[in-house]
Chain A
């Protein structure tokens, strides 16, 4: 199991454990973490799983592909660490990853 920590916009911390291969979006939606919606079901097509990966974890992720980058352009309040949760597949190397979630998606 992979441990994932989500920090809500108001500081609430939630730790969840999910199976390897799960995406960050699925880890959030499957554990009712607020602020992550995942409307398109993981097709990188809605930008409603926008989150902010903490700096120390960023360089362990594969870089965003074109599709993710263009969808991130649409996400409100983008900034350092902005990623789409559906595009981050959790592996053993990411055990313990920490990400912040926004107030809401749109």
Chain B
């Protein structure tokens, strides 16, 4: 840990494309930066020169970027000034996306937010997580046992998508043979039009309509049945959510699908990529597998599966010395705050035994903090426990070439990653 920690204190000479353009032209919402994984240098410059940065023109209109850990924390903890309400614009920079503008509890302010959230949060209560762990472990083992050895395969498809889809199907008690629909709906919610799944916003809403019809059928079956332990039954039988509008129901369903899917998927892939790129850490892990406990939050920080969350100012205010106007779009870049050298020591390094590994922004903070964060950590922990049981040698899992990254300023993930397991 100490070998490189001094290096970050020494200012490096600014260089590269991120420093070659005028400050005001920096637009960190450009999706290409995330596909090419080149956003880091732009954020580094903003943290240094203009930590709360105004961008007047982007694919998503004008917006503020909040890039420092402490400023992000300030926005997170003032929900009455920085609103999440879908009617003001919701929680992503993607204003033009009709699916993410639906009412869902992540996009509500108190008190409605608290009511809807409380209806579903028992699914990830500590007692229920203990119950789910054995199911997750069995399925993880089965998925790993079916992987080919000594030949290349796509880790995203065979491991990350496979396992997170099974998890979602369990949480919703979703018809098992149809479970790939969940992944499809999740991807269709967020993908930029023209990238393969959705052609236009109309097409997106047509797919969402199919999701709504399917989920409404499950609701109708369960609302009159004995309350089950799945998310749909929980919402159908809870006084706080049983009278939701169809839009609210679809919104909350999509929130739970996306929240439980893309994010954990990206961390399942990112964890292996991080170990592969840091052989010293991989060796340390194999020598002492109890480090999985602190490695998991470090993976979630290092990956930062959601690059940002967005808020909208409800009043004129000041942030980091900048005047924010009522109605302004304020984007908290977790991907930048998680690399802030003032908050995290040696932040660009992947270190599996950090002293305070859970002090990162990936789950958000404040009242909208990720409701499923302990479930996600458990899924990741079980994955790495089962991997090391089968393949205990450092470097035994190899990433071949560069992964293909998602074209999005919101989802920070992978389309595919080639992997080979050595015998």
Contact = CB atoms under 8 A, between A and B. Distances in A.
A22 to B, nearest CB: 16
Interface residues of B, number: 26
B110 A45 contact: no
B127 A46 contact: no
A104 B129 contact: yes
Contacts of B373: 106
Given A73-B114, A76-B121, A45 B77 contact: yes
B369 A47 contact: yes
B207 interface: no
B178 to A, nearest CB: 29
Interface in A28-48: 37, 39-41, 43-48
A41 B336 CA distance: 19
Contacts of A48: 358
A73 B126 CA distance: 16
A5 to B, nearest CB: 22
B126 A70 contact: no
B185 interface: no
B388 interface: no
Contacts of A39: 358-359, 363
A83 B110 CA distance: 20
Contact of A77 (B73, B117, B125, B375): B125
Contact of A76 (B110, B125, B356): B125
Contacts of A77: 125
Interface in B267-282: none
Interface centre among B121, B122, B127, B358 (most CB of A within 10 A): B358
Nearest to B78: A67
A71 B126 contact: no
B340 interface: no
B117 A104 contact: no
B183 to A, nearest CB: 24
Nearest to A47: B369
Contacts of B363: 39, 46
B367 A43 contact: no
A102 interface: yes
B45 interface: no
Interface residues of A, number: 22
Contact of B77 (A44, A76, A104): A44
Contacts of B118: 73-74
Interface string B120-132: 0110111101000
Contacts of A103: 126-127
Contacts of A73: 114, 118, 367
A7 to B, nearest CB: 16
B123 to A, nearest CB: 10
A71 B367 CA distance: 6
B114 A43 contact: no
A74 B126 contact: no
A102 B121 contact: no
Given A43-B77, A45-B76, A37 B369 contact: no
Nearest to B77: A45
Interface string B362-379: 010111010101110000
Contacts of B127: 103
Given A45-B369, A47-B369, A71-B367, A106 B374 contact: yes
B359 A40 contact: yes
Contacts of B365: 40, 43, 45-46
A41 to B, nearest CB: 5
B76 to A, nearest CB: 6
Contacts of B369: 45-47, 74
Interface centre among A41, A103, A106 (most CB of B within 10 A): A106
A41 B355 CA distance: 12
A37 B125 contact: no
A45 B127 CA distance: 23
Given A45-B76, A106-B373, 5 more contacts: A37-B358, A40-B359, A70-B114, A102-B126, A103-B126
* Closest 7 pairs between A and B when the two form their complex, measured CB to CB: A104-B126, A45-B365, A106-B374, A103-B126, A39-B358, A76-B125, A73-B114
23 contacts: A40-B73, A40-B365, A43-B73, A45-B369, A46-B363, A46-B369, A47-B369, A70-B114, A71-B366, A73-B118, A74-B114, A74-B117, A74-B121, A74-B367, A74-B369, A76-B122, A76-B125, A104-B129, A106-B124, A106-B125, A106-B371, A106-B373, A106-B375
